[in-house]
Amino acid sequence: MSKKIYTGINIQWPISELILSGKKSIETRTYPIPEKYLNQDMLMIETPGKNGKFKARIVAIIKFTECIEYRNKKEFYNDSDKHFVMPDSEWAWVDKKKIGWKVTVLEIFKLPKLAPTKKGIVFTKNISN
């Protein structure tokens, strides 16, 4: 059986846990997801961020299905129950473009896999599963 090749996306812990639990259904960024990654199965690479006590690891297969452009702060915070970004967060609205990426968890791995050592800032390409 041949292994499937994926693109991975880095998502910091504990935000990654909110996605895995199904509580967070929108990932936020300041740019739209590149078209080629919409509706594509991707590996979620959970990174430790500032407080995690682990090495980056592959924890799930996810899919981004839509981009939402928030035009203002009110629109953005009206969706806070979906993206979990609050005004006191380091990812809070700061008068710049915010984009929501609708995310679906397709599979959570029982045991995390080590992430490749060669990583991009955002996307890691050609990871075999």
Average pLDDT of span 7-11? 91
Q: Is residue 129 part of a domain?
A: no
Range of the domain at 39: 8-114
Domains contained in the chain, number: 1
Average pLDDT of span 50-66? 92
Q: Is residue 109 part of a domain?
A: yes
Q: Is residue 70 part of a domain?
A: yes
C-beta separation of 45 from 9 below 8 A: yes
Q: Is residue 84 part of a domain?
A: yes
Residue 123 — very low, low, confident or very high, per pLDDT cuts 50/70/90? low
CATH of the domain at 53: 2.30.130.30
Q: Is residue 122 part of a domain?
A: no
Q: What global pTM score does this model have?
A: 0.85
